[in-house]
Every structure is written in C-alpha cells, then in structure tokens.
Structure 1
Amino acid sequence: METRDEKPYDHFPDETLLEILVKLPAKSIFRFKCVSKNWLSLISEPSFFTRYINSRYDSPPFSLVFQCSNTARAHFFISTEKNTLKYLTSLHDQIPPLKIESTNNDLILYRSENSHQPVYFLANPFTKQFVSLPMHSTRRSSGPTGLISNVEDGITSYNVVRVIIKSSLNLEIFSSERGEWMNFKAVINNCTSKVEFDARPCVVFRGVLHWICNKMTALLTYDPRSKNYGFCRFISVPNGAYHMNGKNAVLGVSGGKLCYFEMNGISVQDYNLPAWKLWVMKDYERGEWSLDRESGERKIDSFGFLCNLLSSYSPLFPVAFHPWNSDVVYFWHEGYILNFSIKTGWFDEDVFSTFCMLSAWENFPLLMPLCSSKI
C-alpha cells in the first residue's frame, strides 16, 4: 500500500524505468531528472548517457562553435538548438571581446582580453548561467588552457588548467571544489624534446586534457583528478603528412572514441580529392593507434554545385568530428561547412554557409548533456 509521499513510479524496477527513459526526447529527460532523487541518480550515471545514445537514431543536440584565431570578435555557430545559437551571439555582444579558451560538455571557458592579466569566465548557454573565476596567481606567460567538468548527483564540479610557459612548464589549476588556484611544476614522462604547442583547442577524452604539440606529432596529456599533481604524459600521433601548420588534420572525440583524421593535402588538385586516413585510439594506456579507414585519391567526375565548389584550388580543411557519429567529419571550404562521410568517402549535398571567407578558425564542440551543468 502506497504512503502519502510515495508515487506509483517509485515502485518501477530500475531496469524497467531505464527502458522507458531511453526512448524519450532529450528535453523530457531534462524535466524528469527533477521527479525524484532516484530518477536524478539514474539519469546522471555516465552509463545511462551511453545507453541513451546507442538506443536512438537521432543524436542529442550539440553545437560546433567556430572562432577566428586572429581575433576574439569573430564567431559563428552550427547548432541543433536555436536557443543556443541566439544566446551565444548575445553574450558576445554584451561583453566583448571574449575569446573562447576551451569547452567541455555544455560549458564554455572564456577569457577576457580587456586587461593585461587575463580574466576567465565560465558560461552554460543551455541554462544561461555566466560566472567569473577568481583571479589567478601568476602573470607569467601562459600557454594553452583546458576545461574539464563533471555532474554527479546533480552537483557540477569543474577544473580549469593553465599551462605556464617560462624556463620550464608549470600548471596552474583552478578547482571549483576548492575555489582557488594551485600551482604545480609539470613533470613529463618520456619527454625527449622541447614542447611546442600547436594553436589548437584542448581535446577532452576520458576526463583527461589533451593538448596537440610539436607539429601535431604528439599529445601532452594531464588528468586533474590524478593524485600525482603536475604529472603529464606524452602520446604520439600517427602524423604521416603535415601541411599549413597541421590544417590537413583534425583530432577529436566521436562516438566515445579518440579519433585522428588526416588528408594528404589541403585542396583538390586536378579534380582529385586527396587521399585520407582515419585513425582510432586502440589502447589508451599504451598510446597505440589503429588505422580504421583509408582511401586513395578520388576523381571528381560528376557535376553540380558541390562538385563545382570543390573543383577550385581553394583550401579544404577538416575542422571537426561529429561528436556522436564517428562516420562524419566536417570540412571548411570557401566559407562553407561540408559534411564528409567516412563510409562513402564523399561529401553530402547539404552544405552550411558561414558567410565568412576567413580560414583561420578554431573549433570547439559543445554538447547538451542529459543532466545539465549548473554553475
């Protein structure tokens, strides 16, 4: 017999409840996490998110945020959520100039360039929250920055990591749980050369930060959760060709896998699409990659808008992976974002116009999780 505080759904077995929840739209999942502590706990589990993704034909909402690397004012967004696109645009209009430093899940780390000492802000475009971080403790020259966030039992925690470059590498870390910055000297294993960071955003995989360095031949990794404070690790990248500061290749996470896509060129020459390779991390602990797919040159032998567009000698850059569908790689070409299929080895006819011809873009994935981050 039910008590006054009990509801009929409190008696559902967890497995039955999970089977129901994975069939619901993402927006319903957001609402239902407020039903009870048990529902919140089930939805917040990483295993539920994986199960939800695998059970659906359509991927959860996500955005790809593009930022011109030459100026902090130029941004555009490809999004499955119109509210996200609107909010991000208005945010930049209100507090210019903001530069995106890193993203993770549904959070964006911004840096204000109005002062000599950078000021960091954290924003969630889905919940429309915006907070500033305490001032960090050093003015020394900073290198790349990374952000890692996590939601557990409805509580959001995050870490911001700055790489400080001087005579040696140091790490400056802000933890939301401590509410302060801490400094550590970076200890790098199997390091045989000087670390030179590429102008690429940080990639987060398995809760670990990955910075691309040494002309896209290596990854410098750091796990803020590790008890070995300051301990970093090198992982090699299967870089076979390097063109225009590595713009012929892209590293990212797709379908839960760490992926590396590389083209043997940066443009279509004599109606031939360059050869390409897709590598997937096979053994993360050992840093071993596996060649997943490859293709030789492909002749453009058909007609139409897309083929005419590709027939020019303008740069053709891979810029991002689809966060859920590892079959899709996004390319930039003459102000358009093109959708490339690994299975077919060719581009979809649907193209997205950016209305911007600049090619110096950084891109950041922005995901809409089933349990949003409250900051």
Structure 2
Amino acid sequence: MTESSTAADFPIPAAQHQTYQVQPSGATAAVAALFTDDLILEILSRVPARSLHRFKCVSVLWRDLIADPANRNMLPQTLSGFLHTSFCGSAYHHHFARVSGGVAPYDPSLPYLQPNKYKDMTQVDACNGFVLYRGCTKKVAPWYRADEDCRFVVCNPTTGRWVELPPQPQAPAGRHSHIRGLAFDPAVSSSFHVLHFEEAYSSSMIGVSIYSSRTGAWSYRDSGMAEEVELFSRTRCVFVGGVLYLIGFLPGINDDYVLLAVDMMGKVWKTIRVPYPRRFGMIGSSQGCLHYAISSVNEVELWCLKDCDSKEWVLKHTSSIDKLMGMTVKNYRVIGIHPDCDTIFLVPCRGHTLIAYDMQHQEVGCILDLEKNSTQRFLPYVPLFSESLADANGR
C-alpha cells in the first residue's frame, strides 16, 4: 500500500497571511499581561479550527503559540485530506490525498495494526479523527462480505492508538448488512459508537447493531419505522449533533432519495426528504451542521439542514461549474464538504483529479492528481492528537 505522492495546500485568503499588531492602551496592556501562554492556549482550544487560523493574525505571540507543534494536542485541527483507495489486480491499495498544509499525512499502510494478523484492511468510515477499518485474517476478494474471519478496528492514525472490537453477534437468517458508520465527537465525550445496519434480503432496512466503547458490547435495535427505506450502497455515514445520517431511498415508482437519521441508542429514527429527491447528492458535516451538496451538468448547489426536527433545508450557495467544465471538459461529482467552510471537493466522473471549489467566493482551490482506478469512497480526515482512545488492546 502506498501513499499519494501529490500534495497541495488548502488555500487561505491572502489577507489571513498578514499579521496585525494592535497597540493597546495602558489599561488594556495591563489586563493583557495577566494572560499567560497556558491561559491563552486554553481559550484557543475552545474555538473552531477556522477561527484558529484567523487568530494567527492577532499577534506574533498568538501565531507562534498556534503554530508550535507542542501545542497541537490542545488545539482544534482542520481538514488534512481524504483517505481513498485504488483497485489494482485483485486488491485495494490505501492512499492519502492531502489538501491542507501543516500536519503531515500519516502512513496509510497502518504498520501498527498487526500486519501479521490482518491480511486485508478495508477503509469503512472516518469521524473527527478516528477511522473505522474492517480487518480480515484471510486475504479475501473486495466483494467478500462474510464476517467469520473479520473484525472491526477503530484507530487514531495520528497517535497510532487502536482498539479491536469484539465479534458482532451473528445476524439472524434472512438478514444481511454492508453499511457501517462511526460516531465520535471528542468535544462531547471520549467514547465512540459503531453502527452496523441490517437489511432484509428484500433490501429494506430493519434495524441496527450498535457497539458502544463505554460498555464494550454490542446491542441491537429494530428500526420501528412505518416507512420502508432501502439503504444506498455508496452512502457514507455522517455524525452531527448526536445523530448519524446516511442516504437511502423509498422503494416505489420514483425511488426518491431520503436521509435516514438515527440516534446513538437506536431509539429515535427519522426520514428526511432531500432537495431534488431523484438526484443523488453528498452529505457532510460542516460548521456544526449537516450539509448536502448536489451537482448537475451546469451547476452545483450547497444546502444546510437548519433543524433535524423541522427537517427544513436552506439553500446556501448555487454556483456554475463552467469554470471546472472548461478546464477538463468533464462532468464532476461531489465527494466531500470542508468541515470549516463552504468549500466542496469534486472529482471528474471519468478521471483522476480532486478539485477544491470555494462556493462562497466562486474560486477553484487546490487541484490534486489521484492514483488511477481510485474508488468512489473518499473519507475526510481531521487529525486528532488526543490520547483518549480507550482500547482494550493496550496500544
């Protein structure tokens, strides 16, 4: 497994590169002198990553505190890049597409995950610095879905800490599952959940098995929904505000797309209609809210879910992608949304390029060359320097 060799920095507006020194009055200077470096760091650790980058402009002291590698474990991080895989021969190869400067991407070959035990590792999901893998003790074909020789592994690639989950209870006859999601919010708790959705062979979603790191055990919940929902095989799960979202569709004449939302106890289930229900979009967590981006031949739109309870969507930006079309004369699909701003990431439907597009300012950002035969699943990765991953493996 190899790491992507192409890297580019996520653009920051030119004004943010300047450092402004504000001359305080005598009283203000006396108060400012009471703020030690430790106290300033404590305050900065509570602001969003996007604001943190802006605060580098306050003074040389703040810039140096924020940039000091020794302080990274205290400060919020922004998007570093995307985990993705390419298919070659009979195996998947793991890569990292870096879109932001600063923290160096980790080794996607995961040398610390017992290579002698796991002959095959599949990237499943990523959430706020943790990554969910499916490790198999036998070398299997990519389409192999049996679980007898496989275990889930949650790891923090930045620190190299990881935990192997206990075996999941065998699904009853007549059920299958291939959609799994990771739920973790370090601002709320050090614990995490893994959700394994179960479907009947008729493809309708009927329940979910939930692993809680707090209890160290799996539990099962029926969906209890009156509406029949089938999960879309290419969906990725997004965790926002204690709720996990994924894309499904309502079987019928139109097969309209919907969002399925479930809480971490598996007690609350909701379906939420999406804009343009017959066109497949991309969901992502950005600025603390669920966002939905959808592209067509001529334009791309970015929507925000105002409230999960009201199920109300707000259109934030509509942009023509003629500029992108003129560059490569290809159609694009959205593969990610930046967690701190209204920037989306696109790849051509036939090609090996990743492009950042600032919806607010209508600007093209970084352009990366990807490996050939890259798969359709791209997982956003934000580094987490905390050592809080509770693991039974002692690593």
TM-score by length of 2: 0.68
Separation of aligned partners in 1, 2:66 and 2:37: 21
Which residue in the other structure is 2:66 paired with? 25
Which residue in the other structure is 1:341 paired with? 358
Shift of 1:130: 2.5
Which residue in the other structure is 1:288 paired with? 312
Cα separation, partners in 2 of 1:288 and 1:120, compared to 1, 3 Å: same
Q: Is residue 76 from structure 1 mapped to residue 91 from structure 2 by the alignment?
A: no
Instruction: Give the letter for the 2:295 counterpart.
Output: M
Instruction: Give 1:111's match in structure 2, choosing from 134, 143, 146.
Output: 134
Which residue in the other structure is 1:268 paired with? none
Shift of 1:16: 5.9
Shift of 1:156: 2.4
Shift of 1:73: 1.5
Tell me the SS of whatever aligns to 1:362: coil
Asked if the contact 1:150/1:156 (under 8 Å) is kept, the reply is yes
CA deviations over 1:320-359 (Å, ceiling 9, x no partner): 1112122x111112211112121343523x411113244x
Q: Is residue 125 from structure 1 mapped to residue 154 from structure 2 by the alignment?
A: no
Shift of 1:290: 0.7
Tell me the SS of whatever aligns to 1:25: helix
Asked if the contact 2:84/2:378 (under 8 Å) is kept, the reply is yes
Instruction: Give the letter for the 1:174 counterpart.
Output: Y
CA deviations over 1:223-252 (Å, ceiling 9, x no partner): 11x4xx44311111112552xxx3xx3211
Cα separation, partners in 2 of 1:86 and 1:369, compared to 1, 3 Å: closer
Shift of 1:113: 4.2
Shift of 1:212: 0.7
TM-score by length of 1: 0.72
Separation of aligned partners in 2, 1:93 and 1:148: 24
Tell me the SS of whatever aligns to 2:107: helix
Asked if the contact 2:256/2:278 (under 8 Å) is kept, the reply is no
Cα separation, partners in 2 of 1:124 and 1:338, compared to 1, 3 Å: same
Alignment of 1:185-224 (within 5 A): 185-188=222-225, 191-214=226-249, 217-224=257-264
Q: Is residue 323 from structure 1 mapped to residue 347 from structure 2 by the alignment?
A: no
Alignment of 1:20-59 (within 5 A): 23=62, 24-25=65-66, 27-30=69-72
Q: Is residue 365 from structure 1 mapped to residue 387 from structure 2 by the alignment?
A: no
Shift of 1:121: 0.9
Which residue in the other structure is 1:160 paired with? 194
Cα separation, partners in 2 of 1:182 and 1:84, compared to 1, 3 Å: farther
Q: Is residue 101 from structure 1 mapped to residue 124 from structure 2 by the alignment?
A: yes
Q: Is residue 256 from structure 1 mapped to residue 280 from structure 2 by the alignment?
A: no
Unaligned runs of 5+ in 1: 1-8, 34-42, 44-48, 50-58, 266-273, 301-305
Separation of aligned partners in 1, 2:359 and 2:243: 26
Shift of 1:19: 4.5
Separation of aligned partners in 2, 1:150 and 1:72: 32
Percent of aligned positions with the same letter in both sequences? 19
Q: How many residues align?
A: 313
Alignment of 1:233-248 (within 5 A): 233-239=270-276, 242=279, 246=280
Asked if the contact 1:30/1:371 (under 8 Å) is kept, the reply is no
Asked if the contact 2:291/2:303 (under 8 Å) is kept, the reply is yes
RMSD: 3.5
Separation of aligned partners in 2, 1:282 and 1:233: 15
CA deviations over 1:68-98 (Å, ceiling 9, x no partner): 5998623321234787634223448934421
Unaligned runs of 5+ in 2: 1-32, 46-51, 53-61, 139-145, 250-254, 391-395
Separation of aligned partners in 2, 1:205 and 1:20: 22
Separation of aligned partners in 2, 1:17 and 1:336: 38
Tell me the SS of whatever aligns to 2:105: helix
Q: Is residue 67 from structure 1 mapped to residue 108 from structure 2 by the alignment?
A: no
